[in-house]
Amino acid sequence: MNTPVVVVDIALVLVVAGALAAIVRASIGPSRADRVVAAELGFIAAVSAIVLIALRLDEPILFDFALIAVLVGFLTTIGLARLVTRKEVTSEEDRGQDRKQEST
């Protein structure tokens, strides 16, 4: 592959900066949804780093690893989204029942 090394290095630095921002957001996120989004951003940054390293080292096998990671990450995203929505719905239902009990 004929990718300039400097461009890949700059992109790798930007991906690391995004991963650090995701770590900060995951640690201070006020809600579960914020933490899930930050975890997804961190995962995407990791996969992006694998792809950039594959370009830098000219190792095509790393592209296969990135592809497998993306497929697993998609399933993880679906699972985490269901977990977050179930917890929020359960909390809202509990609040609704508490309000009904208070009004009677």
Tell me which residue range forms the domain holding 50. Answer: 5-103
Q: How far apart are CA 11 and CA 80, in angstroms?
A: 28
Q: How many domains does the chain have?
A: 1
- pLDDT the model gives residue 93: 62
Closest listed residue to residue 5, CA positions, set 52, 48, 61? 52
Q: Where are the alpha helices (DSSP H) in the chain?
A: 5-28, 32-57, 61-103
- pLDDT the model gives residue 17: 95
For each of the chain's 104 residues, which pLDDT tens digit applies?
A: 566 889 999 999 999 999 999 999 988 888 888 888 898 999 999 999 999 999 999 899 999 999 999 999 999 888 888 888 875 566 666 566 656 666 65
Those residues whose C-beta lies under 8 Å from the C-beta of residue 87, and which sit 6 or more positions away, are 32
- pLDDT the model gives residue 16: 95
CATH number at residue 66: 1.10.287
Q: How far apart are CA 29 and CA 1, in angstroms?
A: 40
